[in-house]
Amino acid sequence: MAQFKNPVPTVDCIIELPGDRIVLVHRKNPPLGWALPGGFVDEGERLDVAAVREVKEETGLDVELVEQFFTYSDPNRDPRKHTLSTVYIGRAKGEPVGADDAAEAKAFPVDALPRELCFDHGTILADYLAYKRTGQRRKL
């Protein structure tokens, strides 16, 4: 019988904080660097529930998801394996604290985000900022 290899589902969350800030985490495990909070979806878990769980685990924040933004599926987006990431936009209050597999969590002003980000998170944030400016989503 043939073995099928499928992409692995993940979630990421663009967390908006008051003061026009976005939360990023500095990863504890490779690939190292700044990234959006997120991670792998557990078997039997809904995507939105996974996003809320991952945000809580990595930042300590209780996030309210306000919309599903886009799903990113480039086979090269994660150097470890082919993943599909459904990205949510959420809002939270408070200050993030790195935990779980996040060595650090920090809120950055949207006009001072780090240039070098893990995975395709630079693309995701550029798409998000364009969406906030224009109201238009990424084209397929």
Is 104 catalytic? The answer is: yes
Q: How many CB atoms lie within 10 A of CB 77?
A: 19
Token pair of 134 as six digits: 């224009």
Which of 43, 45, 104, 116 is catalytic? The answer is 104
Instruction: Give the Å distances, CA to CA, from 27 to 1, 35, 99, 101, 113.
Output: 38, 7, 10, 6, 16
Tell me if 90 sits within 8 A of 53, measured CB to CB: no
Rounded to whole angstroms, the Cα distance separating 117 from 39 reads 15
- In the chain, which ranges are continuous DSSP H helix? 47-59, 121-134
Residues noted as catalytic: 104
